[in-house]
Structures are given as structure tokens and as C-alpha cells.
Structure 1
């Protein structure tokens, strides 16, 4: 039971975190216009072509000043797919999964209102 307490406290603390500030009445502010963002989507596969589920896709902004990135990473689904909404800009995307050998990073330009495809 004691081992679960720190995890429960962390979950409760994170439950109040979000990307939208509350207004004075406590209601969440409306989300930013989706036209001001773009998407990156794709599929991560192993060297022999099998989908790689559970991998982390990690971005790094290449812009100066660097674009703020809303999440640290996204996780691929069972079919190796991922989809991510990001502010417009240039990014380097890398894939990580435990002790597997790293794969080369990919560079992508995200444009507002468009979806860029980056596969591995």
C-alpha cells in the first residue's frame, strides 16, 4: 500500500495539469485556433517492416527561437502509427524504444492547417 501512495499523489498532481488555463470562473478557456497548428503523422516500423508499437517519437525544434512543444513525446499505437499536433515550424523527430538501436532522426516542416507525413 505504501508503494502506491507516491504514484497516487503524482497522478492527482498531474490530473490538474492541462494546456488550457482556467478563467476567473474556473471554466477552461477555449482551445487555441486549430488553424494556427499543423500535424505530423506517420508509421514507425522495424528494419524488417513490422509495425513498432510503444515507441516514443521525440521532437526537437530547429527554429530560433525554438518553438514550444506541448508534449515531450508521443507513443506509437499497436500498428506503429502516431499523430501529433504541433505549432508551425521545423522539427527533428527521433524514435526511441528501450535498448533498441537508435534509428536516424528525420527533419520535418510543420505548416498551419496541414499534415506532414514522417515514416520510419
Structure 2
């Protein structure tokens, strides 16, 4: 299976298990009440070696919430960051070599809030 698809599915499952106060999706939902989380499809490039296939890339976790202030969104983002960074290294046919936090952002959007957490991932086949 494609490395990015496996990584995204693992992160969705991980966040669903940890973030009980929000729905978690692998694509923007057609209908969902806030708060909810979307794990974007990872953007990966080649990171292989002479004898092993590898991928390096970025994965973004988007968080959506309503309200006057982003307090709940910030709590949700903190829990999501811990969940992603403590994710298991083993995937079917791939091994996560490193998974690190890159940046985060919280912005006002309409009558709600949107946050984004970006992570760098490096994976090797096998």
C-alpha cells in the first residue's frame, strides 16, 4: 500500500482513539458539527537509500471549532500533538524513522476557529 495512505490511516485511527471530544476525518466532511479534525493526505518525497525505499514529507492535522475564543481548540491541538508524536513506528511494510513537530497556527475563520499542526515524517520500507 502507498506509504502516505498508511500514515494517514494510522494517524486518523490514533486521533480517533485519543480525541474523544471531536470527530476525526481523513477528508473534509460534508456535514459535521464542530469541533472536528481533518488529517490531510501527507505530501511525501523520495527519501530512499541504496538498499531501501524511503519517504520524507509533511502531514498537516487541521482542527475546527466554534465559539468566541479558541480555548477549546488550543486544548484539542495540544492533545492532538501529543497523540501524533507518540504514534507507533510500525506500519504495514513501512517503519516511521522520525516524526517531529514543525509548526502550528490558530486563526479566526468566520464565526469559528481553525488550527493547523504540521509534522515532518521520515519513513523507510521494511
TM-score (norm 1): 0.30
Highest CA radius of gyration, 1 or 2? Answer: 1
Would you tell me which structure has more helix in proportion to its own residues? 2
